[in-house]
């Protein structure tokens, strides 16, 4: 059955890489850094109890869109849009530039765009750091693919930046605008996400590696608001590790280990 994307699409080429899955925690932290989005997509929906459950649900929906039949993608996103329409409320206390009583709605295009942008920006950043750089034409094609995703979640073309360069400007402007303000509740979620992910004890070295990648790839101002420690030596180590992985590891890893199961199944 036809899907919204094929194996030649930039979206599939990016998200098929196992390493890009490490972008999830960073995306979640960026989403939670927007206090109105945090209230609508975390506090209101009960995701505070298990933020990784939210990440898993998001990943499942994105997998369906990327790899599943169109009819199934339409069905699951229709259900998500219906859930979003029911999420309404107001901030119970001030957060940054947002006063108490600021209304929120999960189907607000501005909030939906930031949720999508956090996923896209994180995936691109991790892909370029650990797999390969993308040309401007490839970034344009990738953003066009993600605009399809945005439409499935209820965004209109006019709600989204037109080209990839416009998208990058939107992300930079949002980070610099003062819209992002990490609340105490969001900071608590961050600690759970970064320090206590649901992983067995034997995976602790990998967890620590992912933690460092997540913290290091956050925008400096957002990292500071979360209270994560960082220093130039860690930054050098992160960049050095990324270059080593990109040049000497990823190109030589066989596809059965490098790509996620959905990509291997689609190729077969």
Q: Is residue 101 part of a domain?
A: yes
Alpha carbons 188 and 226: distance in angstroms, whole number = 9
Which pLDDT score, from 0 to 100, does residue 218 have? 96
Task: Give how many domains the chain has, as a whole number.
Answer: 1
- 124 within some domain: yes
> Domain for residue 245, yes or no?
yes
- pTM for the full model? 0.92
pLDDT of residue 30: 95
Q: Is residue 137 part of a domain?
A: yes
Query: Is there a domain that residue 268 lies in?
Result: no
266 falls within a domain: no
Quick one: which of 257, 195, 167, 202 has its CA closest to 25? 195
**Residue 49 pLDDT greater than 70, yes or no:** no
Per the structure, the complete domain to which residue 160 belongs is given by 10-260
The DSSP code for 259 is: B
Residue 2 above 80 pLDDT?
yes
3-state SS string for 46-113: CHHHCHHHHHHHHHHHHHHHHHCCHHHHHHHHHHHHHHHHHCEEECCCCECCECCCCEEECCCHHHHH
Average of per-residue pLDDT across 42-69: 77
How far is Cα 214 from Cα 219, in angstroms, rounded to an integer?
10
pLDDT at res. 231: 81
């Amino acid at each position: 059955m036809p899907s919204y994307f094929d194996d030649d699409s930039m979206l599939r080429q990016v998200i098929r890489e196992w390493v890009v899955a490490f972008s999830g925690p960073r995306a979640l932290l960026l989403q939670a850094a927007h206090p109105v989005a945090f209230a609508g997509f975390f506090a209101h929906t009960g995701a505070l109890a298990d933020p990784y459950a939210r990440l898993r649900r998001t990943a499942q929906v994105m997998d369906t869109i990327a790899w599943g039949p169109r009819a199934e993608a339409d069905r699951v996103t229709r259900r998500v849009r219906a859930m979003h329409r029911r999420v309404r409320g107001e901030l119970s206390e001030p957060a940054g530039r947002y006063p108490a009583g600021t209304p929120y709605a999960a189907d607000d295009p501005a909030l939906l765009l930031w949720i999508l942008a956090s996923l896209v920006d994180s995936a691109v950043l991790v892909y370029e750091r650990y797999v390969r750089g993308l040309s401007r034409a490839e970034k344009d094609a990738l953003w066009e693919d993600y605009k399809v995703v945005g439409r499935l979640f209820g965004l209109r073309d006019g709600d989204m930046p037109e080209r990839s360069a416009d998208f990058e400007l939107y992300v930079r402007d949002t980070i610099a605008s003062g819209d992002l303000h990490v609340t105490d509740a969001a900071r608590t979620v961050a600690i759970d996400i970064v320090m206590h992910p649901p992983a067995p004890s034997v995976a602790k070295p990998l967890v620590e590696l992912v933690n460092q990648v997540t913290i290091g790839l956050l925008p400096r101002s957002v990292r500071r608001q979360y209270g994560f420690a960082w220093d130039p030596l860690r930054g050098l180590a992160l960049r050095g590790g990324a270059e080593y992985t990109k040049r000497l590891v990823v190109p030589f890893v066989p596809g059965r280990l490098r790509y996620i199961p959905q990509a291997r199944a689609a190729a077969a």
